[in-house]
Amino acid sequence: MSGDTTAPASAPETPQGKRAAGQEHAPVLAFRGFGTEPFWSARVDGDTLVFSTPENQAGTTMHGRRVPSLTGFVFIGKDGERDFHLGLTPGACSDGMSDNRYDYVATFILGDTTYKGCGEAAK
């Protein structure tokens, strides 16, 4: 038995969102918004958004861009003739079905339909 009492190095903290190597302090590249009544999910990774519902579980892939925002995260684009807008604003949010708490309030607008829910940096 050795006399070394040095504690093992702790594992690095898990990143709170997807970032490219060397860009650990850059803005998060991946986010997701989701909600219930109706169920929906919108996941953004880079310039791609995938919107899914129980009727379309594979999702619809759309391309857009992140636009500057004073607070939160905004991603906009077009799906054919329909505009879309995903906004995540900092604020406590509950999905209404679990005890989970999220750091963002999400709004996804697709054409004339607005979906509301919660959001987070994708892990």
Is 50 exceeded by the pLDDT of residue 113? yes
Look at residue 22 and tell me if it is in a domain: no
| Sequence-separated contacts (24+) of 102-106 with Cβ below 8 Å | 104/31, 104/33, 104/72, 104/73, 106/33, 106/34, 106/35, 106/42
66 CB-near residues (< 8 Å, 6+ apart): 44, 73, 74, 75
What is the count of structural domains for the chain?
Answer: 1
Residue 107 lies in a domain: yes
Is 18 contained in some domain? no
Q: What percent of the chain has pLDDT over 90?
A: 60
Tell whether the model's pLDDT for residue 91 goes beyond 90. yes
Average pLDDT, the chain: 82
Report yes or no on 106 lying in a domain.
yes
Cα dihedral: 78, 79, 83, 86 (round 10): -90
* 112 inside domain: yes
φ/ψ of residue 10, rounded to 5: -80, 155
Contact by Cβ (8 Å): 24, 15: yes
What is the full DSSP assignment across 50-74? EEEETTEEEEEEEEEEEE--SSSEE
Check residue 7 and give its pLDDT.
40
Question: By residue range, what is the domain housing residue 85?
Answer: 30-121
Residue 11 confidence (pLDDT) above 50: no
Residue percentage of the chain with pLDDT more than 70? 76
> Each residue of 47-87: pLDDT tens digit?
999 999 999 999 999 999 999 888 888 999 999 999 999 99
